[in-house]
C-alpha cells in the first residue's frame, strides 16, 4: 500500500493512465469472452435465413460461393448485394419461403 501511495504522489498521471488502460483491457477482454461463448454455440452461427438478409450476406455467412446462391435464387451475380430477400420475393410476387426453397438444401448443417 505504501508503494501505491508513493506512486500516486510522484506519478499521479501515470497511475491514472495505467488505471484507464487496465479498465479498457478488462472491458475488451470481457467483450471478447462473451462473444466467443455466444458464437461457439452452433444455434447462433447457423441461425435461420431472414428476409432482411441480402443474397450476398447469405453466401458469406453460410460459406457458399456467391454463384451458387445466385443460381438457386435465379439472380444475376450483380444482384447479390442490392436487394434483400424480402424485396426479391415481393418483386416476384412469391412468399419468402417459396423463394428460399431451392436454396435450403444447399445450406450447410451444424
Mean pLDDT of all residues in 18-27 = 98
C-alpha dihedral over 84, 86, 89, 91, to 10 degrees?
Answer: -70
What would the pLDDT profile of 61-91 be if each residue is shown by its tens digit?
A: 888 898 898 899 988 876 666 789 999 999 8
pLDDT at 110: 61
pLDDT at 1: 77
pLDDT at 80: 64
CA atoms within 13 A on the CB side of 92: 16
Mean pLDDT of all residues in 95-99 = 93
pLDDT at 28: 98
pLDDT at 17: 96
What would the pLDDT profile of 34-69 be if each residue is shown by its tens digit?
A: 999 998 887 777 788 899 999 988 888 888 898 898
pLDDT at 34: 96
Contacts 24+ apart (CB under 8 A), 95-99: 96/51, 99/73
Amino acid at each position: 500500500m505504501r508503494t501505491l501511495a508513493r506512486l500516486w504522489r510522484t506519478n499521479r498521471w501515470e497511475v491514472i493512465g495505467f488505471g484507464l488502460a487496465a479498465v479498457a483491457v478488462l472491458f475488451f477482454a470481457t467483450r471478447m469472452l462473451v462473444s466467443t461463448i455466444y458464437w461457439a454455440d452452433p444455434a447462433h452461427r447457423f441461425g435461420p435465413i431472414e428476409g432482411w438478409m441480402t443474397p450476398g450476406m447469405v453466401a458469406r455467412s453460410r460459406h457458399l460461393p456467391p454463384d451458387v446462391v445466385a443460381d438457386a435464387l435465379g439472380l444475376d451475380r450483380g444482384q447479390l448485394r442490392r436487394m434483400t430477400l424480402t424485396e426479391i420475393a415481393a418483386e416476384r410476387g412469391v412468399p419468402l419461403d417459396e423463394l428460399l426453397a431451392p436454396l435450403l438444401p444447399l445450406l450447410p448443417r451444424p
